[in-house]
Structure 1
Amino acid sequence: MYKNYCNQLEQQKQPQQEKMSDLAELWKKLSGAKYPDECKSLLKQCLTQELFDQLKDKKTSLNGTLADCIRSGAKNLDSGVGLYACDPEAYTTFKPLFDAVIKMYHKVDTINHPKPDFGDISKLDFGDIDPSGEMIVSTRVRVGRSHDGYSFPPCSNKEARIDMLKKTEEACATLPGELAGKMYRLEGMSKTDEQQLIDDHFLFKNDDRMLGDAGGYADWPIGRGIFHNPKKTFLVWVNEEDHLRFISMQMGGNLGEVYKRLVNVSVHAGLFFK
């Protein structure tokens, strides 16, 4: 038992040493790029030598490192932001960097994000915002959500993605009424289903090099899926970039109906993952 424990520690130590070597190379490329001619990302502007030295040895409880967060931005010097959270703890473990980037992106001096509140959907002051149908073709509202206890793309792995897809499929199976539908797993998907999802503009692909360098397409397409109801007014993307993306949509301008549908899904008991 002690021997197995030591082997596990050694296995964890080796990837960590590799990440430190990787971090040095990433920092060399990022810091060596001239601003703004060669790189003007928010990462480039915010990650100073002093801040790098302060954060380089830190890691999250899920073994996320600074290298995981900056890899894509360092490899793609034309990035706009260049920073990916490796897991939920990245926002606290690497807080000075993430706070600086968030403030610059949103052009604010302080971070004081309000607690999420969907409001009372029985008392919405909006409904169909284009009753004549002359201006709005379709309406869409979407939100991103994350499973508790799992890393984000830079540090995720095949087993975690498979587990998240399974949990999401089980949760979606509890959706009532018009929200009930079917999960389409990208792995092993039939050509017929694939073409239909393409025709519906529902299928997501692995063609973003910045997300790819952040780890977003590792083990593609394993652990990815798309759920939608028969009316095609509600859609879930699983492990595209966020763990989950909920999308409510329909033709016309009835924003009220679209929003209510999204809220009903977001608060549905089966979709509060632990």
Structure 2
Amino acid sequence: MIITPVSSSSPVVFPMETRYRPILESLVPRDPLTQFHLRRGSPDDEFPDLCRNSTWMGRILTPAMYRRQFDRCTHSGVMFDDVIRPGLEEPGDWSGPVSVGCVAGDAQSYILFCDFFDRVIEAHHEHKIKSQTPESDFNYDNLKGGDDLDRSFAVRCEVSVVRGVEDFCFPTHCSRGERRQLLTLARKALQRLEDEELPGRLVLIEELNQEQQRELNLNPPSSTQLRTGMARDWPDARAVWVSNDGSLMVWVNMDDHLRLVSTRDDTNITEAFKCICIHLQKLEGFYRELRHPFIWKQQLGWVTSSPADVGTGLRIRVHLKLQHLPKHRRLQDVLKRLRICMDRPDTDVSPESPALYRVSNVATFGVSEVDLTQLVVDGVKLLIAMEKRLEGGGDIDDLVPTQK
């Protein structure tokens, strides 16, 4: 699917804007930013230079759209310039994957700036926003073939899911007090999980040395996280909860309010997915009892700070040892048709040796959790079949799937 950037001279229709107009008018007073006496020029004077910007934000934003957002801000003070800052800080590379280039400071951002966010979400996930999102499906028994990947190629797998907590700003915009309240809520919910289901321990990042952080696969904040404010006050109120059996980790205030991660060295995606499904639903119930449910929007599903994670918030990653397929001329076409992506190895390896690649889903929106996981399982199996064919000197043209 090819997304054509909208020209600034083209007529722009805002169906979601029209639908949400009564809500938008009631959310904030007219021109709310005027009370802050900001020293800004006109919207045309302030419009960013997007000529070399390859993000979805840069491809979609027009002067007309910018003018419509210019004097809006959410109740917690999120301005539109806060939303688009990530894409201006990191404009991307036209030869690489397209990032969303924007971030929501709070849940209200998705409503107030809906005409912009909706178009970014549709472009990134290649799925139209409808009146109702697919219902969540955590029935892991419906997943087929996730427990028998060829261990000669599949090294390990990871299933993770992110959630935002109602009544709190997202990490790029939240205050220290909010972050500490989120940690207090997490303590209470995770203690319930320990008492009823899964023993574990919560450790603060500030109490861990670098070696201990590496053992938990915790990386220091990236340059992007630092520039966007996501890592503000690091490591204050950041924590990780680890189950005693090692089956589950919960990151608190790291890149989102909560991230559940299940990693397995036996590449059993079914068991990792099952672990996430069971304990996510448990935590969802605990947070609801604490009167701070996870954030859900009717047309978008589960929402967090990044539009790239709306819908399910689910990521399935499988590490594969591949030698021949990464060099094949049709690889990018295959990945696009399978709706998955494959990261290049971080280290240089000999051409004669297989390198480790990470395969994961591109979209999180428009399909259920089971269907999304099944998509990755089927895609990984096909990549392994292609690698075997190439290893034996054969051709893979007949294995290339039709466009999904």
Scaled to the shorter chain, the TM-score interval is: 0.7 to 0.9
For residue 89 of structure 2, the aligned residue among 68, 71, 75 is 75
Matched residues in 1 for 2:109 and 2:258: separation? 19
Contact 1:152 1:243 in 2 (8 A): yes
Q: Which runs of 5+ in 1 are unaligned?
A: 1-12
| Equivalent residue, structure 2, for 1:216 | 230
The alignment's TM-score, normalised by the length of structure 2, stands at 0.56
| Paired residues for 1:12-23 under 5 Å | 17=36, 20-21=38-39
CA distance in 1, matches of 2:54, 2:114: 21
One-letter code of the match for 2:262? S
Pair 1:234-2:248 in alignment: yes
CA deviations on 1:57-96 (whole Å, 9 max, x unpaired) are 1122222211221222223333733211111111110011
Alignment correspondent of 2:386: none
- Taking the aligned partners of 1:25 and 1:180, their CA distance within structure 2 comes to 57
1:146 aligns with 2:146: no
**Cα 1:31/1:63, change in 2 over 3 Å:** closer
- The answer as to 2:215 corresponding to 1:196 is no
Instruction: Please name the residue that 2:323 is paired with.
Output: none
Q: Name the SS for the 1:134 alignment partner.
A: coil
Ranges in structure 2 where 5+ consecutive residues have no aligned partner:
1-31, 94-98, 293-404
CA distance in 2, matches of 1:111, 1:65: 24
1:186-240: CA deviation from partner (whole Å, max 9, x where unpaired): 23x143xx42231342x13212x22322210111111211111122220111112
CA distance in 2, matches of 1:30, 1:181: 50
Preserved CA contact (<8 Å) 1:153 1:214: no
Check if 1:103 corresponds to 2:117: no
Tell me, yes or no, if the aligned pair for 2:43 and 2:70 is still in contact at 8 Å. no
Question: Hey, what's the Cα distance between the residues in 2 that align with 1:221 and 1:88?
Answer: 24
Q: Which residue in 2 is equivalent to 1:118?
A: 137
Give, in angstroms, the shift of residue 44 of structure 1: 1.7
> How many angstroms apart in 2 are the aligned matches of 1:27 and 1:225?
43
1:174–1:180 CA contact under 8 A, matched in 2 = no
For residue 197 of structure 1, what is the amino acid of its counterpart? Q
Q: Deviations over 1:97-116 (max 9, x none)?
A: 111211222234x2136344
Partner of 1:166: 184
1:255 paired residue number = 269
Pair 1:41-2:55 in alignment: yes
**Cα offset, 1:128, TM superposition:** 1.7
Partner of 2:257: 243
Aligned-partner SS, 2:172: helix
Indicate the SS of the match to 2:67: helix
Q: 1:30 touches 1:77 (CA, 8 Å); kept in 2?
A: no
Q: Distance in 2 between matches of 1:124 and 1:210?
A: 35
Within 2, Cα distance between the matches of 1:15 and 1:228? 47
Count the aligned residue pairs: 250
